[in-house]
Structure 1
C-alpha cells in the first residue's frame, strides 16, 4: 500500500507543523525548520522487502537528526538520498555532500546529520536496516556524506535505476518487489565496497583490499558444502592462521561470516514469492547447508522462527505502519 501525504489541503499556518509530523513518522525522529512562510510538501512511500522507498517533493526547509532525536529511536538505519531535482547539502561526520540531480549520498541515523534544502526540490530516500550493507563499525564514518556521482562508476548503475523507481513508484508494489529490493541492496553493497577500497588509508589498504577479495570469494562460493577456512585461505595463498586473524580484527570469525551470509541468502529465498514452491530443504542445500535439522536450529536462533514459520509470516504487503511516539520538535 502506497503512503501518500501532502500539505496542499491544509491552511498555510498548519502546513509545516503537519510536515514535521510526517517526516518523523515516515523516517526517524527529526527536528525540522521551515525555510519559507509558504511551505508546500508531498510525500509518497512504499516498502520493497526491507527497503522503505520514499519520494519527497517540497520547498525550502532544513532537517536535523540531533543526539536527542537519536536517543528517542529504537532502530538503526542507513539512508540514501538521491537528488531528483533542485539542490541539497548533506552534512555528517564533519563532511558536506552537495547533491545535484543524479547525485546521491549515504547517511547513518545513529549519528547526527543535517539536510539543507534552500529551494524547491525533489528527492528519493531509501531507508534500510544498517546490517544489510555489511559495513564494519569502524568504516561507517568513511562512507557517510560522501557525494556519489550518478554519471560514473557504480553510481552510474545505481542512479538511473533509482530514478526510474522514483518515477514509477506505484508500479513496483508487486510480489516481485522483494527480488528488486535484494538486487538494489546488492548494488549498494558493491558501491560501498568500491568506495571503501578507494578511500582505504594507505597503511591499511592492502589488508582491506585482501578482505574484500576474500569476502567476495566467500559470497560466490556459499553453495559449496565444503567451504571453510582452509579452502578460503588456500584460494588466496595465505595461511589459515592469518585468515583467522583478518576476521578476528573485524570482530568475527570466518565460520560465523560464512554462516551468516548463508543464512541471509536463505532468508531472502524464503520470503521470495517466486520461490514458494521450492522446498525449505532445497533452499538450505542451495546455500551450503547439508543438514536440514542443523539449518532449522540455527535459522530459528538467528531469526526467532523456524524456516517454515518465517516463510508463512513473511509475505510482503508493502504496508507502512506509522507511529506518533518520540518525535522531537
Structure 2
C-alpha cells in the first residue's frame, strides 16, 4: 500500500515545518526553504518495490539543499532519478547546473552536495536506488549528475518510459513482480550511464545479459500459456517489444524460436514417460502451450526428424534409453 503524506490539512503557518519533516523523512536529511509567504499544500505518495523507493511529489515553490552536515549523518547513499511532470527544476551538483522541464529527467547522487530550485508549483516522480546496487564507476556517475535527459530517444527514452510506467502501476504489483521491476529499472540505469560514458559495447553488455536471463526465467515459468508472446512478455517486464527482440539478438535467437524450442524439448521428454500413452500426444502438446495438434506435429518433425507418435512408439520399444541427445534447432 502506498504511503500518503500531505500538509493540506494544516494551516499555512504550520506547513513549512511539517513539510521539512515530510521531505527529510521520506527521502533523506535536507534543508527545505519554502518560497511562499503562505505555503501551498504539499503531498508525497510513496511506494516500495524491493529496494527501489518511488515517490510522487507535488508542492509549491521551494529550494532544497543537501549539505555536508546532512551527508555525514546518512550512511546509505542513493542514486536519485527524477522525472519532471509539471513546472521546472534547476539542479546543481558536481559543478554543473541544469534546468529540467516537463518530460525530462535528471540524476542526483545523495553522497555529494546538491541544490534543487523549484520556482513554481511543480510535480515530479523520484526513484531512489541504493548506491551500492548500482555497479558503475563513481567518476561515471559524477560526470552525469545535474544533466538533462530528454527521454526522446535511445536509452534515455527507454528509461523514461519504463520508470513512468512502473510508477503508475507499482501499487498493483505483488512482491515478486515488484522485485523484478526494480531490478530491471536498475539494469536500465546502468545501461544508460554506460552508454553516455562510451561503455555500452563492453561494460554495458552484462546489463542486457541480466535482463535477458530474467526474461527467459519468465518464459520458462509460463511455457504452458498459449497466449505467451513477445508483446505479453515485453509488457510483463515493462519494456518495448523492440527492446525484447534486441535482447534475444544478443545470442542470435528470436523470441518465438526460443519459446518453441523450450516447448518442444519438454514435450519430447514427456512423450517418453510411462504415463504419456494414457495422456495422449495432443494433451501433452496442449500442456506445453501448443494449441493445434497438427501444428505441433509439423514443428516437432521439423525439429527432430520424426513425428511425435513415432517418437513415442520408439520410446516404448526401447529405442530411447531415458532420453536422447537430439535437440531442436533454434531460430
The Cα offsets for residues 154-210 of structure 1, whole Å up to 9 and x where unpaired, read as 11112123233344443345531111111111111111111111xxxxxxxxxxx4x
| 1:256 paired residue number | none
Q: TM (normalized to structure 1)?
A: 0.61
Q: How far apart are the structure 1 equivalents of 2:148 and 2:180? A: 27
Q: Secondary structure at the match of 2:53?
A: strand
| 1:323 paired residue number | none
Q: How far apart are the structure 1 equivalents of 2:209 and 2:168? A: 36
The alpha-carbon deviation at position 28 of structure 1 amounts to 1.0
Retained in 2: the 8 A contact 1:51–1:181? yes
Q: Secondary structure at the match of 1:192?
A: helix
1:133-172 matches, cutoff 5 A: 133-172=134-173
| 2:252 paired residue number | none
Moved over 6 A (4+): none
Retained in 2: the 8 A contact 1:92–1:114? yes
| 1:215 paired residue number | 203
| 1:33 paired residue number | 33
Retained in 2: the 8 A contact 1:46–1:173? no
| 1:77 paired residue number | 78
Q: Secondary structure at the match of 2:142?
A: helix
| 1:131 paired residue number | 132
- Taking a change above 3 Å as real, the CA distance of residues 5 and 196 of structure 1, as seen in their structure-2 partners, is same
Q: How far apart are the structure 2 equivalents of 1:44 and 1:195? A: 31
* Structure whose alpha-carbon radius of gyration is higher: 2
Of the two structures, which has the highest relative contact order with CA contacts closer than 8 Å and spacing of 6 or more?
1
Q: How far apart are the structure 1 equivalents of 2:207 and 2:156? A: 22
| RMSD (Å), alpha carbons | 2.7
The alpha-carbon deviation at position 76 of structure 1 amounts to 1.0
1:1-329 matches, cutoff 5 A: 1-39=1-39, 40-172=41-173, 174-197=175-198, 209=199, 213-217=201-205
Q: How far apart are the structure 1 equivalents of 2:174 and 2:37? A: 36
The alpha-carbon deviation at position 52 of structure 1 amounts to 0.3
- Taking a change above 3 Å as real, the CA distance of residues 180 and 67 of structure 1, as seen in their structure-2 partners, is same
Q: How far apart are the structure 1 equivalents of 2:192 and 2:27? A: 23
